[in-house]
Amino acid sequence: MIDYVLIISKKHPESRWRMNGDDYSGLEWLSDEPKPTKKELESHWDEVQKEAQIERVRKNRAIAFREEADPLAMKWQRGEIEKQVWLDKIEEIRERFPKPE
């Protein structure tokens, strides 16, 4: 299902609009510029989906690095663990949250 709200939010961030429901027919355009057609919005769907997926991966990795890898880096710096333990955790996080291709 195409997420028109996501597409409009990404491709028309300065525009004013309202959405009633999930379908294009519920889009009420309040901005002065012309309302994008359903076809125009749908043409951006693959790109917006990929951008959203990349952003989710970035956020998930950032949280995991902060909560899991950073404490190990501190332990390594204090000499409490081997550097490889920290590097292995970094690789495990990257594998858990792979970058979309």
Q: Which long-range CB contacts under 8 A does 5-12 form with residues at least 24 apart?
A: 6/48, 6/52, 7/41, 7/42, 7/44, 7/45, 7/48, 8/36, 8/41, 10/44, 10/48, 10/51, 10/52, 11/36, 11/41, 11/44, 11/48, 12/36
**Domain encompassing residue 21:** 4-43
The answer as to whether 66 is a domain residue is yes
Task: Kindly state whether residues 36 and 54 are assigned to the same domain.
Answer: no
The answer as to whether 101 is a domain residue is no
Does pTM top 0.85 for this prediction? no
Give residue 100's pLDDT: 82
The answer as to whether 50 is a domain residue is yes
Neighbours of 75 (CB within 10 A): 14
Give residue 94's pLDDT: 97
Give residue 101's pLDDT: 77
- Which has more pLDDT, 1 or 43? 43
Task: Kindly state whether residues 37 and 68 are assigned to the same domain.
Answer: no
Q: What is the pLDDT of residues 55-91, one digit of tens each?
A: 999 999 999 999 999 999 999 999 999 999 999 999 9
Task: Kindly state whether residues 66 and 26 are assigned to the same domain.
Answer: no
Give residue 73's pLDDT: 98
Total tally of structural domains belonging to the chain: 2
The answer as to whether 89 is a domain residue is yes
